[in-house]
Structure 1
């Protein structure tokens, strides 16, 4: 195991695993799973906590011999769960197809993203996991369990936290390819943003707000991604005459070379919906991340509560991104059952400093029933708090009991959650 392979993306986690293995066949993977006392799947290593860690064997499925299959009649694509979104997007685009949405990074693996409830942005866009229409999981007994559309447990298996088994195959809904024009706006008064929040986030297919809170009265940037095949919404007055004169990076003072094309120039969905280009690896090792999803109805109050903590967060905050996510029905999705707003925090790589400010941030967001992103940094808490936040929590525990009765896929993080 090389030093790089033994750490996550940001290098704040050194895996405890005895080995990392990349099987090429299902038979090889099955042998690894059934023989291991403790085993976990490892995606693109973009989790900032120990959700993918184990003291036993880590397995990457990226090399499995699972073919990519497009079913044009059903508008579905079947893929190896270990493939990255950027790689799948290129294949789909070349065949005239698209995914409805992408996360800010195209570098993440499909199985890892859906298992943690990762999302993109857009008032009408659900989490990436909500695009899943079928799933195959290799359980600790060596059996493949399939979940298809209409299966009662599919909604429980998709955001599975890696606790059910190894996700080998994923089926996703696709649609005909489309183009997107991305435009960035600078220095919007905070009061105008919160005063027209609904108008602003609904003004394009995908909208992201970025702010450092260094100036409490200003939201630094608004990124609007508009589909060219849809009717254009009116530009909110708050953004009028504020278009950025040159490409922007979300972090102040950082060159925009790694960012996708801006300036309102239309291009393929896969080159505009993410914030960053696939050929770049942005901010590797330079940051930690946290995110909390609150009900859409509390968006303005929650954002204002964060602004009130500006001085507390300032020593470790690089930038805060605000995105909207439509509700889904997945049991452990942070957007389950409610249209949501994600408050995403990119921190400096100061673990102690971040740990020091998180309790104040989480306390400020607690009145809004904030749900933490499963793959990012959050404070330890009583498992009963998670059970209260997720109506499907008990059902998920029962599903996990059926699929992994010997707890091969348990680890310190899932145990701390009461699973």
Structure 2
């Protein structure tokens, strides 16, 4: 046994060993060995999606590909790189991604494969930025797919079922600045009365609550692209102040952490001070251990039209949730066409739970939460949930197409593990 654990420490991998190939040839040699294999990213998944009884393979020592397209609207990067590894380099080249997750610490291939999303009414998930990718299949053959190709929409959010993602090509745009503002004690009734106004008040908006009381949330974080003109900046500020006034929210008088009482040193800077996109879109800085450290995470994403009902369901369970909760975050994601994306075919609202590290108690509570949420809720692939495979499959209209694609790429089921079997793959 490898004795390796995931980032949060709540999962011990069953793998015989963990390998770190430094070339495609070394990776092919590992694939040529008999037995099951799975790809391992930065170990930020809280369930066994990356586990196997065979060999785990991390791509963090592969060549660090970074190639800007001649048209300067795309960049090809190694799948094993972290978003934090490419962000500053993109900015130095005058370029930017439209989106980042709350953690820059996560690997590009791993985040894309699990549908990790970031936030914003008009911003698609991280996977939505993928315009091409290169897979190494279990037979050692290379498969290159680009947007518009048959099977591409199923191969991006792949759950690790198709092979090793050697590189991805991401959409980029000219670099830009973002300012971050934090407001405290917004009223839930006012938030739910016009959720669209709240989530559209910035480029990316997060509502944080510990659900220790149900009248007010704890904080709202507003990340806003800095406009080109002073007049536009003034209009942004006026709208932000109007919305926060309706919510009864007040501007924070200093830097904050999403979890009340935790030292905010690890968080990206706030107070409306503008900086390059990669220094504000994440909640946490690359040089610090993110979030709370020892924790468990769950997340469910619902169609925009079901969002208020979903939040009300969580609100009704506040007394059950609060004792186990570190913080709940609510944010939005734009629709995409990727078969296994939690925002496939619908603008989505995510309800994210960072739990205290008591997995038995969390797993005992989750069925109650899952039963209370609308039947449209889709669990985040990399986080803890208890919905059975049949129920999960029913929430993805293209599941059968994805299963056929996985069988085509991996006919001997080398990449199928317990997690995928529970889903029915």
What's the TM-score once normalised by structure 1's chain length? 0.97
Partner of 2:110: 112
Q: Is the 8 Å Cα contact of residues 122 and 207 (structure 1) preserved in structure 2? A: yes
Shift of 1:69: 0.4
Partner of 1:247: 255
Q: Is the 8 Å Cα contact of residues 64 and 81 (structure 2) preserved in structure 1? A: no
Alignment of 1:49-88 (within 5 A): 49-88=47-86
Separation (CA, whole Å) in 1 of partners of 2:292 and 2:257: 15
Separation (CA, whole Å) in 1 of partners of 2:320 and 2:147: 46
Shift of 1:127: 0.5
Residue 288 of structure 1 pairs with residue 293 of structure 2: no
Q: Is the 8 Å Cα contact of residues 8 and 14 (structure 1) preserved in structure 2? A: yes
Separation (CA, whole Å) in 2 of partners of 1:119 and 1:10: 19
Shift of 1:40: 0.6
Shift of 1:30: 0.8
Residue 370 of structure 1 pairs with residue 377 of structure 2: yes
- When residues 67 and 222 of structure 1 are mapped into structure 2, their CA distance, relative to the original with a 3 A threshold, is same
Deviation sequence 1:214-255 (CA, Å, 0-9, x none): 011001100000101364541153513611000000001001
Q: Is the 8 Å Cα contact of residues 284 and 291 (structure 2) preserved in structure 1? A: no
Deviation sequence 1:284-310 (CA, Å, 0-9, x none): 642100000001011111101100000
**Secondary structure of residue in 1 paired with 2:218:** strand
Shift of 1:193: 1.1
Partner of 2:396: 390
**Secondary structure of residue in 2 paired with 1:156:** helix
Q: Aligned to 1:37, which of 35, 38, 45?
A: 35
**Secondary structure of residue in 2 paired with 1:361:** helix
**Secondary structure of residue in 1 paired with 2:350:** strand
Residue 400 of structure 1 pairs with residue 406 of structure 2: yes
Partner of 1:351: 359
Shift of 1:349: 0.3
Q: Is the 8 Å Cα contact of residues 302 and 368 (structure 1) preserved in structure 2? A: no
Q: Is the 8 Å Cα contact of residues 156 and 330 (structure 1) preserved in structure 2? A: yes
Q: Aligned to 2:147, which of 146, 149, 155?
A: 149
Alignment of 1:292-371 (within 5 A): 292-365=300-373, 367-371=374-378
Separation (CA, whole Å) in 2 of partners of 1:29 and 1:284: 34
Partner of 1:235: 240
Shift of 1:66: 4.8
In structure 1, stretches of 5+ residues that fail to align are none
**Secondary structure of residue in 2 paired with 1:235:** helix
Separation (CA, whole Å) in 2 of partners of 1:167 and 1:49: 20
Shift of 1:74: 4.9
Worse overlay, 145-154 or 106-115:
145-154
Deviation sequence 1:50-87 (CA, Å, 0-9, x none): 00001111111111125210114151100110100011
Deviation beyond 4 Å, 4+ runs, structure 1: none
Q: Is the 8 Å Cα contact of residues 197 and 243 (structure 2) preserved in structure 1? A: no
In structure 2, stretches of 5+ residues that fail to align are none
Separation (CA, whole Å) in 1 of partners of 2:262 and 2:272: 21
Shift of 1:282: 2.2
Separation (CA, whole Å) in 2 of partners of 1:93 and 1:336: 30
Compute the RMSD of aligned alpha carbons.
Answer: 1.3
Instruction: State the number of aligned residues.
Output: 415
